[in-house]
Amino acid sequence: MILGIGVDAVSIERAGKLSGRTLEKIFNETELEEYKDLETAHPDIKAQFLASRFAVKEAYAKARGTGFCDIVVPNEILTAREEDGRPCVVLCGKTLDNAPKAAVHLSITHEKPLAIAMVVLESED
């Protein structure tokens, strides 16, 4: 059974302007390390990285039906990769503690000017 669906679109250009405490508030240490590894990449690639990860966080919060709040925290929602290369959502902290027992299906795409993510929460019961 589908518990929730969330979709979000983020401006790649706008995401490329994020810096400092804003980055730390939105992204977790793992994502920030991945972003730092892109130091020599083209600015568009770096901006796509940030925009797509932020879109995933927003889409997950929408699928939960809560938006960001004290139990769905942006920097506790991580975009990772399955062994086969598919993107997946990894939760930690309060966001994990309060997550429904559900499979999280994720799709991400980006084409200037937007990065788009879709999350479907499917009951494991």
In 3D, which of 89, 117, 87 has the Cα closest to residue 102?
A: 89
- The answer to whether 12 and 110 are in contact (CB under 8 A) is yes
Question: Of the listed 36, 94, 105, 110, which one is catalytic?
Answer: 110
Q: Catalytic one among 17, 36, 62, 94?
A: 62
Taking the C-alpha atoms of residue 79 and residue 40, their distance in angstroms, rounded to an integer, is: 21
Could you tell me which residues are beta bridge partners of residue 118? 7, 107
Active site residue 105: no
**Cα torsion for 9, 95, 105, 86, to the nearest 10°?**
90
Catalytic residue status for 62: yes
Active site positions, annotated: 62, 110
